[in-house]
Amino acid sequence: MNKINVVGLGYIGLPTALMLAAYDIDVIGTDYNEKLVQTLNDGHITFSEDGLEELFQKALKKGIIFSTEYACTDKYIVAVPTPYNKKNKKIDAHYIIGAIDAILSVCKKGATIVIESTISPGTIDKVVRPFVEAKQFVVGKDIHLVHAPERIIPGNMIFELKYNSRTIGADDMDKGEEIKEIYSFFCQGEIVVTDIRTAEMTKVVENTYRDINIAFANELAKICQSDGMNVYEIIKIANKHPRVNILAPGPGVGGHCISVDPWFLVGDYPGLANIIFAARKINDSMPEYVLSRIAEIMQENKITNLSRVGFYGLTYKEDVDDVRESPTLQILASMKSHLSNGFVQVYDPYIEENIVSNQKHEFTEFIDNIDLIVILVAHSEIRQRMKELKGKVIFDTRKICTLPGTYYL
């Protein structure tokens, strides 16, 4: 009988737990956040995502349990955050260690702990394994360690959980195959079994590749802007080459994956991770760059009152409700350091709570009170209501507006 305790019910743990339960696996979801567990037990999902509510209802019918307690079982999936230390850029594994500590105090002998959280290459060998051994468990006998990083993209998580291929890293290939069987309940993509170090590195490499590609697009945007060329047209044409696929420039790279994972490589391999470091710096420079463009556009249009400027979008990307590392928040923080963020109007249809100053909660009210709109997130809402921006000065950092006179990156 498969009974799995999924630890960490955030953006990755919750959909994974629900998916397993929907496919008839006995699932207990654990999170130390009492409020979050209470919300789930009250019958509400904790973030919005296409198809999540339906999956939640299915999992509830199949008997999924949510608790702050860890379960005594022989299989655990750990999906807790793995931030990086902002000073030395290395992984901060304290959530992982906390979860493993709690698991070791309740698990069955011979249990398998699958770590889904993204970890820097070598974390299992350098941090997790010694911790488990120090607790007098023999790895490979009393406890099996597996790394199964996820690949799902916020905005299309449920579909990608089912159809993406995945990687499983294990010391012992038979253990890897056993865990592969569990993921195969719902995952129709290819599941590659490899060693732990390779799985750790592969995951970080995937996000770093995307970060570098976005940085290239952002650097091109700056070059083209400085010399009167249209970066979007250039990328569009270049991408017609069969072996070129440049991503889109934007106001910065947010979220808790792409803006974090490359730092692990910079922190662990200083002096070697050069292009990776440069890409991070370019992407991190974009919010400031957007600010300097806003200043130019205001000057050109004789707009002097910051309260007539509106920022559309607070989330880190379109059609999600996640604001972690969001470029808009970075722009506002930068303005605050110059004592001026209290003035711009801000609106995001996905953020109901007041999280910044001058936040509006209704599109028309937001639009009616500004002269310059800065589109920072390409939510479906604004794509559908583009006509309502007629007559405004528009600075579109996402290249979604086709109204004449629009400014781009």
Given a contact cutoff of 8 angstroms between Cβ atoms, the answer to whether 218 and 283 are in contact is: yes
Nearest-approach distance from CB 408 to ligand SAJ, in angstroms: 13
Closest CB to ligand SAJ among residues 330, 358: 330
Token look-up 């990086």 returns 84
Alpha carbon separation from 334 to 94, 328, 337, 340, 395 (Å, rounded)? 29, 10, 5, 9, 18
> Considering the rule CB under 6 A, would residue 147 count as an interface residue with ligand SAJ?
no
Q: Using CB under 6 A, which of the segments 24-32, 71-79, 132-140, 204-212 binds ligand SAJ?
A: 204-212
Residue 376 binds ligand SAJ, judged by CB under 6 A: no
Smallest separation, CB 211 to ligand SAJ (Å): 8
Both structure tokens of 147: 């790394």
- Catalytic residue at 401? no
Q: How many CB atoms neighbour CB 192 within 10 A?
A: 15
DSSP codes, 159-223 = HHHHHS-EEEEESSHHHHHHHHHHHTTT--S-EEEE-HHHHHHHHHHHHHHHHHHHHHHHHHHHH
Task: Report the nearest approach of ligand SAJ to the CB of residue 278 (Å).
Answer: 16
Binds ligand SAJ (CB under 6 A): choice among 97, 102, 247, 400: 247
Largest CA distance in the chain: 71
Query: How many residues belong to the site for ligand SAJ (CB under 6 A)?
Result: 20
Please list the residues that pair with 30 across neighbouring strands.
7, 67
Shortest distance, CB of residue 63 to ligand SAJ, whole angstroms?
28
Establish if 77 lies at the interface with ligand SAJ (CB under 6 A).
no
Q: Is 72 a catalytic residue?
A: no
- Is residue 153 close enough to count as binding ligand SAJ by CB under 6 A? yes
Of residues 406, 399, 309, the one with CA closest to residue 360: 309
**Which of residues 16, 120, 167, 207 is near ligand SAJ by CB under 6 A?**
207
- 166 lines the binding site for ligand SAJ (CB under 6 A): no
- Residue 26 or 49: the one with the smaller Cβ distance to ligand SAJ is 49
Min dist. Cβ of residue 142 to ligand SAJ (A): 30
Q: Which of 203, 317, 360, 399 is catalytic?
A: 203
Instruction: Using the minimum distance from each CB to ligand SAJ, give the nearer residue, 15 or 254.
Output: 254
- When binding is defined by CB under 6 A, the residue of 8, 15, 121, 255 that contacts ligand SAJ is 255
| Nearest residue (CB) to ligand SAJ, 245 versus 364 | 245
CB atoms inside a 10 Å sphere around CB 4: 23
Task: By CB under 6 A, tell whether 128 contacts ligand SAJ.
Answer: no
8 Å CB contact between 64 and 18: yes
Choice from 254, 267, 287, 313 touching ligand SAJ (CB under 6 A)? 254
Catalytic-role residue among 107, 187, 224, 257? 257
Q: For residue 285, count other CB atoms closer than 10 A to its CB.
A: 15
Q: Contacting ligand SAJ (CB under 6 A), which of 210, 222, 324, 392?
A: 210
Shortest spacing between CB 367 and ligand SAJ, in angstroms: 22
In the bound state with ligand SAJ, the residue whose beta carbon lies nearer, of 69 and 288, is 288
Question: Please, which of residues 311-370 interact with ligand SAJ by CB under 6 A?
Answer: 316-317
How many Cβ atoms are within 10 Å of 406's Cβ, its own excluded? 18
Residue indicated by tokens 């449920």: 158
CB under 6 A: which stretch of 231-239, 247-255, 295-303, 343-351 binds ligand SAJ?
247-255
- Rounded CA gap, 138 and 133, in Å? 6
- DSSP letters along 213-259, please? HHHHHHHHHHHHHHTT--HHHHHHHHTTSTT-------S---SSSTT
Q: In the bound complex, which residue of the shown chain has the CB atom lying closest to ligand SAJ? A: 250
Q: CB of 138: closest distance to ligand SAJ in angstroms?
A: 32
Comparing CB distances to ligand SAJ, the nearer of 107 and 217 is 217
Let me know the angle formed at the C-alpha of 315 by 311 and 316, rounded to the nearest 5 degrees: 110
Q: 350-358: list long-range contacts, CB under 8 Å, 24+ apart.
A: 350/48, 350/314, 350/315, 350/319, 350/320, 350/321, 350/379, 351/314, 351/315, 351/321, 351/323, 355/314, 355/323, 356/314, 356/329, 356/332, 358/307
Of 50, 206, 284, 381, the one binding ligand SAJ (CB under 6 A) is 206
- Is the Cβ of residue 129 or residue 147 nearer to ligand SAJ in the bound state? 147
Q: Compute the half-sphere exposure of residue 205: CA atoms within 13 Å on the CB side of its CA.
A: 8
Question: Would you name the residues annotated as active-site residues?
Answer: 203, 257
Q: Which residues bind ligand SAJ (CB under 6 A)?
A: 118, 150-154, 206-207, 210, 214, 247-248, 250, 253-255, 257-258, 316-317
